[in-house]
Amino acid sequence: MTAVESVVRLIYVGAAACFVLGLHEMNSPATARRGNLLSAGAMAAAVLATVVLLATRGGMTATGWTVLAAGVLAGAGPGMYAARTVAMTAMPQLVSLFNAVGGGAAALLAAVDLIEHRAAGVSATTAVAGSLDILIGTVTFTGSLVAAGKLQGWVPGRPLLFPGARAVIAGLAAVLVAGAVWLAADPASVAALAVVLGVAAVFGVMMVLPIGGADMPVVVSLLNACTGIAVAMAGFAIGNVLLIIAGALVGASGGILTKLMADAMNRSVFAVMAGGFGTGDTGPAGGAASGAVHQTTAEDAAIQLAYAGKVIIVPGYGLAAAQAQHEISELARFLEDRGVEVSFAIHPVAGRMPGHMNVLLADANVPYPQLKDMDEINPEFARADVALVVGANDVTNPAARRPGNAVSGMPILDVDRARSIIVIKRSMGHGYAGIDNELYTNPKTAMLFADAKNAAVSLLVALKTLAGRR
């Protein structure tokens, strides 16, 4: 082993340690940015070390270096532009696209490696790892593209099923497994490679289409875990330790997160992937819950907030869709400046991806200590004078405590236990689960029908007017 190879291996070990530390830092919103930068810096160092190693070994032609440079520019340029310019409301779609790119790249890496070495022969380990990588990576690629399309609205968010769809999916799965076994047994077979690539691509599409919007946070998390597994398999296929470590970390953490997200919906991961649950981005325009609904105005709601001692704000996807995080943050600061205790209740599956609400509110500079998860904030609702629900629906529905409906058993935010409730919503339309929210007919609830951003602005104006009269 040369001195350069020794140094590169040490850099790989250091990068792996930084990945673990970075992942640990992401446990808290207060340190998540630092953890992200640490992990990104470690990966940059590892990539640079790999390039140096390639240069010292020789064998790379001018064409090879040109292709490598073009690939870096083609990936880094658009990637950086997309990350810096994407609207926070479109972050779930971008995450899904990045998942697709990761899975697709891993699959291509294994496919090219098998093609290049088929004449010389490949080991059993490489063949098995390569076939698994191609299978998982391709499924992740097409599945993530469909998920991104659902989140963006290019593909309907409701479950897309046709007669016999599940039988077709089961058949595709059987063919896919058989093709992967064939490719592992005969890695030199171009026909086996074509079967795995083609069937996996179709299976990824068919797997995600029947899944409704209510389950998108779980799907995004699961696909992220699959990307990690594909990258780890690529590392085994080409003998790269860093890819194995990085992929294993992503796969393990994504798998744990997927389980936690499914538990937060009181659903198994298998039930989520079976599909057929949830509706699209918008429910029926009417469909009001049975019972009387009390409507309020911004002025009346502002009076409740102005005389409250404790306010809990419950953000949901309606806040994200209206891009109202900055206005809500300003409203919270105004209340705090006047002695009101303000907290934000964050449900694990609020929004369209894990941590969606945390990302939005952090973007609006909401102090991290105010962001409280479900287990921490639920006991506080009974002490709250006002619970202000901004665009959240299913995660606040008391029907979850009763069996026999689409959200039965789902852990919810105990909004109905606050002394009074203000719900900001554009209409009485259903949430993703497609059922009425019983919170809206609660005698303590006042409905403020408006776009979240406009409602927040109106509330702030009314509060300032009240403050000026005192």
Q: Which amino acid would we find at residue 159?
A: P
Three-class HEC string of the chain: CCHHHHHHHHHHHHHHHHHHHHHHHCCCHHHHHHHHHHHHHHHHHHHHHHHHHHHHHCCCCHHHHHHHHHHHHHHHHHHHHHHHHCCHHHHHHHHHHHHHHHHHHHHHHHHHHHHHHCCCCCCHHHHHHHHHHHHHHHHHHHHHHHHHHHHHCCCCCCCCCCCCHHHHHHHHHHHHHHHHHHHHHCCCCHHHHHHHHHHHHHHHHHHHCCCCHHHHHHHHHHHHHHHHHHHHHHHHHHCCHHHHHHHHHHHHHHHHHHHHHHHHCCCCHHHHHHCCCCCCCCCCCCCCCCCCCCECCHHHHHHHHHCCCEEEEEECHHHHHHCCHHHHHHHHHHHHHCCCEEEEEECCCCCCCCCHHHHHHHHCCCCHHHEEEHHHHHHHHHHCCEEEEECCCHHHCHHHHCCCCCCCCCCCCCHHHCCEEEEEECCCCCCCCCCCCHHHHCCCEEEEECCHHHHHHHHHHHHHHHHHHC
* 394 assigned to active site: yes
CA angle 418-387-420, nearest 5°? 50
In the set 133, 394, 416, 451, the catalytic residue is: 394
Check residue 355 and give left, alpha or beta (phi > 0: left; psi -120 to 50: alpha): left
From the list 320, 404, 406, the residue with the least C-alpha distance to 358 is: 320
Assess contact for 104 and 138: CB atoms under 8 A: yes
The C-alpha atoms of residue 274 and residue 198 are separated, in whole angstroms, by 22
Through-space distance between the first and last CA atoms of the chain, rounded to whole angstroms: 79
Q: Which residues are catalytic?
A: 394
